[in-house]
Amino acid sequence: MRIFSEEKKLIIADGKSQVWIEPWGANSLRVRMSAAPDMDGNDWALTEKMEDITPQITFETVDVTDPWYKSDEYKKYHQSATQAQIKNGKITAKVSHEGWISYYNQRGELLTAEYWRTRDRINRYCVPLRITARELKPIIGTTDYELTARFEAFDDEKIFGMGQYQEKNLNKKGAVLELAHRNSQASVPFYVSSRGYGFFWNNPAIGTVAFGTNKTQWNVKSTKKLDYFITAGDTPAEIESQYSLATGRTPMMPEYGLGYWQCKLRYRTQEELLAVAREHKKRGLPMDAIVIDFFHWTMQGDFKFEPLDWPDPEKMVHELKELGIETVVSVWPTIDERSENFGKMNDLGYLVNADRGNQNHMTWMGNTVFYDATHPGAQKFVWERCRENYYRYGIRCFWLDEAEPEYGPYDFDNYRYYAGPALQCSNIYPVGYAKGFYEGLKAEGETEIMSLVRCAWAGSQKYGVLTWSGDIYSSFRSMREQLQAGLNMGMAGIPWWTSDIGGFLGGDISDEAFRELLVRWFEWGAFCPVFRMHGERSPWYEREQEFRNGVRQLTSGQDNEVWSFGEDNYEILKKYLFIRENLRPYIRECMRAASDTGAPVMRPLFFDFCEDKKCWDIEDEYMFGPGLLVAPVMEAGADTRTLYLPSGTKWTDSYTKKEYEGGNTVTVPAPLDIIPVMMNERFTEKFGTELIYLDEKSDKK
């Protein structure tokens, strides 16, 4: 084994295997390992141009006292017992004489270290397990490898980020996570550690990570190399900023994204959609966007309106613009074998291939194949169809559904992309899907670009991606799970996030229990990055099965407008529509910060109060920007809420206007029409105390 430097890299070479450690932006390092003579050239999410930094690289010969290092046997295979370190600002990687890597901050404190359980004769640490930190095991008969990377576990460590998983825990320490996308699951493998570092697994391959109590272990089934990014910082905000520079920052949120979005499954006709928009405005209610959901089209893969139901899209979009409402249109990546585009896309190699068996990937409402969003030509082709059939009518915001994509079944070993086998690159699919629309809109001269996308991977944010949490169930348990999902997406570098208010699956609008859930969720939605109503609202309306040109027509769920859940509840929902409007200047500031610094819009308490140790343990509250603490009510029948107030500032209850000192746990009133929101001095000094819950005499309706 040799340890040496070359072109600002520290290199560990052992036979054909090489490990590269090099600066990758301020206070950050990129680590790559190949078992082949050449390093694989894919940069995956690390494509941003970074500052050219010359690191401090030093070498040291270990004091050889053990006879082993003086023996002819050792000298036959090794040059010397040399160890080295590479320093870039606040992070230092130390490489032992045996090739182990450990990471330290600028104060010399250990951040994390590779996990080795084998020989170390210098430090007298000898465990005969023969387990090393990184393994690229050849897949026999191929040029591919199974990869395992291991790191030490620390009892005091808490882990936040990694994307969106449907479970209850915000802190991912102890979790086993699948590195794969599914409907309602988005793998975005970046986390922030309570020990003062951020770690990004720059590999879109299918696999798992286990944040165990004995070790952290990453594993992927098929890849070409090991590749990760590690960054150190004094605060979570600094860590997040450095990571977002490496993978790309989100653009500024368009103005229509700050307000209220109306959506349901589904508005079936042009007139039905316009009637809802007109009624909303007639009542004097704010609305910034309305969504045309799936199966408005002639056929999956045609990317065009069904003319019988949508006879004049241009006139419709014009009327909505006159009302101040943006039109959002659903696009699916499914190409029906009967579609007018299927043959050409198949001939050009624009469809995802199967290595065996039937080519169909989904059989719901037609036999369909997903288009290959990793193929630049396919990205352009799909955008061109949408430009011809949607954009020319004035539609500039698209709902890119099924972005995982949602295979049935998820047999990742059977699919093959332009970018390679799905096992090696499947997780970049939603990035390419969003990229095609972003670049298409940008080429048309659009400067405010946003796409609503049902999945994301690292780097998605720079293409104006608003993710939502998929087809979740209508229950308080699901609502609680969405809170940690949204917070962890923010910590993983995806700042624009929302959920289906009320949940998607189920939710009978005549059921009082569901109405309570919807009200509580709606209140919470007003304090999420995007405020969006949606849901299938079962049972669906009975409708005789209908076919047009051999294409089955999809029916619709129950009503899903703010006046659909009873008069008393309507008054509550109306209040929060105006609360959101009142908060628009503040939310705009939060979105600007996300674009400028990578700061999540909704984030755990520790992001702003990392010195308060209690904040690292709070999972049922969050900060909405730097000035508002939000404590959603996520239990049926509750009328009070107990919450913790971070130390270091004073807090004002936006409902009662009562003031509290930070560092205390308090119980506040939370009747059905109130979500507890606490304002700190940073907020009240600029916006006052009346922006959220106004005094009764001046209540804005």
pLDDT reported for residue 72:
64
Q: What is the fold of 255-597?
A: TIM Barrel (3.20.20)
Going by pLDDT thresholds of 50, 70 and 90, the confidence category of residue 700 is very low
Which whole number is the average pLDDT over 303-316?
97
User: In this predicted model, what pLDDT tens digit does every residue of 80-95 receive, in sequence order?
Assistant: 568 999 999 999 999 9
Strand partners, 150: 217
Going by pLDDT thresholds of 50, 70 and 90, the confidence category of residue 125 is low
How far is it, in rounded angstroms, from Cα 12 to Cα 20?
7
Token pair for 20:
């590269």
Q: SS3 for 453?
A: strand
Domain ranges of the chain: 2-247, 255-597, 604-698
Q: SS3 for 697?
A: helix
Which position has the token pair 């009327």?
Answer: 319
Which whole number is the average pLDDT over 509-517?
97
Going by pLDDT thresholds of 50, 70 and 90, the confidence category of residue 122 is very low
User: In this predicted model, what pLDDT tens digit does every residue of 553-575 receive, in sequence order?
Assistant: 888 999 999 999 999 999 999 99
Reply yes or no on whether the pLDDT at 701 is more than 60.
no
Which whole number is the average pLDDT over 246-268?
97
pLDDT reported for residue 360:
82
How far is it, in rounded angstroms, from Cα 526 to Cα 675?
10
Token pair for 403:
């972005």
Q: Which residues are designated catalytic?
A: 401, 404, 471
User: In this predicted model, what pLDDT tens digit does every residue of 572-608 receive, in sequence order?
Assistant: 999 999 999 999 999 999 999 999 999 999 999 999 9
Reply yes or no on whether the pLDDT at 698 is more than 50.
no
pLDDT reported for residue 659:
97
Distances (CA, A) of 689 to 26, 202, 544, 582, 628: 39, 44, 54, 12, 11
C-alpha dihedral over 657, 626, 676, 466, to 10 degrees?
140
How far is it, in rounded angstroms, from Cα 30 to Cα 38?
17
Report which secondary-structure segment, H or E, holds 201. strand 197-201
pLDDT reported for residue 78:
52
Do residues 604 and 615 lie in contact, with contact meaning Cβ atoms separated by under 8 Å?
yes
Going by pLDDT thresholds of 50, 70 and 90, the confidence category of residue 699 is very low
How far is it, in rounded angstroms, from Cα 157 to Cα 367?
48
pLDDT reported for residue 546:
83
CATH superfamily name and code, 604-698: Golgi alpha-mannosidase II (2.60.40.1180)
Q: What is the fold of 2-247?
A: Immunoglobulin-like (2.60.40)
Going by pLDDT thresholds of 50, 70 and 90, the confidence category of residue 73 is low
Strand partners, 18: 13, 34
Among 575, 624, 606, 671, smallest CA distance to 258 is for: 624
Kindly give the residue spans of alpha helices, DSSP state H, lying in 566-676. Answer: 567-582, 584-597, 605-608
Go through the chain and tell me how many residues it has: 701
pLDDT reported for residue 118:
83
pLDDT reported for residue 292:
98
Reply yes or no on whether the pLDDT at 545 is more than 70.
yes
Do residues 270 and 317 lie in contact, with contact meaning Cβ atoms separated by under 8 Å?
no
pLDDT reported for residue 697:
34
pLDDT reported for residue 98:
87
- What is the rounded average pLDDT for all residues in the chain? 94
In this structure, what DSSP letter does residue 216 have?
A: E
Q: 255-597 and 604-698 share one CATH topology?
A: no
Beta strands 465-468 and 659-661: pairing type? unpaired
How far is it, in rounded angstroms, from Cα 248 to Cα 230?
16
Please name the residues in contact with 459: beta carbons below 8 A apart, sequence gap of 6 or more: 44, 45, 47, 247, 248, 431
Reply yes or no on whether the pLDDT at 75 is more than 80.
no
Reply yes or no on whether the pLDDT at 65 is more than 80.
no
Strand partners, 232: 197
pTM: predicted TM-score of the whole model, two decimal places: 0.96
Which whole number is the average pLDDT over 442-458?
98
User: In this predicted model, what pLDDT tens digit does every residue of 337-378 receive, in sequence order?
Assistant: 999 999 999 999 999 999 998 788 888 889 999 999 999 999
Do residues 211 and 174 lie in contact, with contact meaning Cβ atoms separated by under 8 Å?
yes
Burial class (CB in 10 A: 0-12, 13-18, 19+), 58: middle
User: In this predicted model, what pLDDT tens digit does every residue of 280-293 receive, in sequence order?
Assistant: 999 999 999 999 99
Q: How many helices (H) and strands (E) does the chain have?
A: 14, 41
How far is it, in rounded angstroms, from Cα 267 to Cα 687?
38
Beta strands 353-354 and 368-370: pairing type? unpaired
The residue type of 316 is M
How far is it, in rounded angstroms, from Cα 114 to Cα 103?
9
How far is it, in rounded angstroms, from Cα 480 to Cα 152?
31
- Please give the order of strands across the beta sheet that includes 82-88: 56-61, 82-88, 91-95, 101-104, 110-113
Q: ∠ at Cα 252 (434, 229), nearest 5°?
A: 65
Please give the distance of CA 343 from its chain centroid, rounded to a whole number.
34
How far is it, in rounded angstroms, from Cα 701 to Cα 579?
10
How far is it, in rounded angstroms, from Cα 26 to Cα 500?
38
Torsion over CA: 479, 535, 487, 210 (sign): positive
